[in-house]
Amino acid sequence: MKPLKLIFTICLPMILFIGNVSAQQDTTIKIKTSGDCEKCKSRIESGLSFEKGVKSATFDTKTKVVTATYNPKKTSAEKIKIAITKIGYDADEMKADEKAYNRLPDCCKKGAK
């Protein structure tokens, strides 16, 4: 029984420390985009879920802001913005990819409402 207690005494703090270090590596960014509706929300969140290093992404249709949490060792804010433009939406100062924008449903295009 004593060896098991020793293992828990040594390993548990190490596991907690490693888990804490991993959590500290994540970065959150807010990106203003041209998305507008629930379809936009679904497209943006779904598209970003496939991006390497992106842990989570949520799009607020009222503020038109994407909040993405990512691992900076695997991706960058610029790569996330590029991914959004390739989905068909503006991302801060970056304009949407023209071909991707043209494939959007009419309700998702600028000035549709």
Report yes or no on 30 lying in a domain: yes
DSSP 72: T
Over residues 72-113, the pLDDT tens digits come to 999 999 999 999 999 999 999 999 999 999 999 998 988 765
Report yes or no on 21 lying in a domain: no
Report yes or no on 19 lying in a domain: no
What is the CATH number for 63?
3.30.70.100
Helices and strands of the chain, counted as H and E runs: 4, 3
Report yes or no on 76 lying in a domain: yes
Calpha distance 70→49 (Å, rounded): 10
Calpha distance 38→99 (Å, rounded): 21
Domain that holds residue 54: 26-108
Report yes or no on 20 lying in a domain: no
The pTM score is 0.77
Number of domains in the chain: 1
Q: Which two tokens stand for residue 16?
A: 């907690």
Calpha distance 45→8 (Å, rounded): 40
What is the predicted pLDDT for the residue at 52? 96
Report yes or no on 31 lying in a domain: yes
Report yes or no on 38 lying in a domain: yes
